């Protein structure tokens, strides 16, 4: 995501610039986190699904982004993951409380819409807040 625009962009060049070691690191992190989540699920079935929702390759991705780009880029990706996780929590709550009264199909559609609204809403609020605080700092700065 560029500093000038709040619209996320996709850069396919990043896929070509990766070494096999980078993919092994991501695979290793993802496998380890998934294994830990599965072990928690075996011991505590009620919480197993919650831990499986953790983005398994996020730690590896952030490490590689920080190494290749800079800390600021990794922070932006981490913020996006946090926003998505909050949306995922809203999704889970709608499914948990809506599946019996609404049925599986309707609850999943409602949950997906909830995830979209919550995630986009938080993203828009964060971008608006940043724009307002940046504008405020620019006005306060002496010319």
pLDDT in tens, the chain (143 residues): 445 566 666 666 666 667 788 778 777 877 887 788 788 878 887 766 666 666 666 777 777 777 777 787 788 878 888 898 899 889 989 998 999 999 999 999 999 999 999 999 999 999 898 888 876 555 555 55
Distances (CA, A) of 11 to 1, 3, 15, 16, 17: 10, 15, 8, 10, 11
- Residue 62's closest CA among 51, 54, 70? 70
- In a 13 Å sphere around the CA of 113, the CA atoms on its Cβ side amount to 6
Helices (H), the chain: 13-16, 20-43, 45-52, 58-68, 71-102, 104-140
Q: Is the pTM of this model over 0.85?
A: no
Rounded to whole angstroms, the Cα distance separating 40 from 38 reads: 5
Return d(Cα 36, Cα 33) in angstroms, integer: 5
Helices 20-43, 45-52: axis angle to 10 degrees equals: 160
pLDDT at residue 139 in the model: 52
All residues at 6 or more sequence positions from 97 whose CB lies less than 8 Å from its CB, including other chains = none
């Amino acid at each position: 995501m560029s500093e000038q625009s709040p619209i996320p962009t996709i850069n396919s060049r990043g896929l070509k610039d990766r070494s096999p070691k980078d993919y092994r690191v991501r695979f290793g992190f993802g496998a380890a986190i998934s294994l830990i989540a599965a072990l928690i699920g075996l011991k505590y079935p009620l919480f197993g699904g919650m831990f499986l929702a953790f983005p398994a390759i996020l730690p590896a991705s952030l490490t590689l982004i920080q190494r290749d780009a800079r800390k600021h880029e990794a922070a932006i990706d981490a913020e996006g993951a946090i926003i998505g996780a909050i949306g995922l929590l809203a999704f889970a709550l709608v499914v948990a409380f809506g599946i019996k009264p609404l049925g599986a199909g309707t609850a999943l559609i409602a949950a997906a819409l909830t995830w979209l609204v919550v995630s986009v809403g938080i993203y828009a609020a964060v971008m608006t807040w940043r724009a307002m605080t940046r504008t405020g700092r620019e006005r306060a700065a002496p010319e």
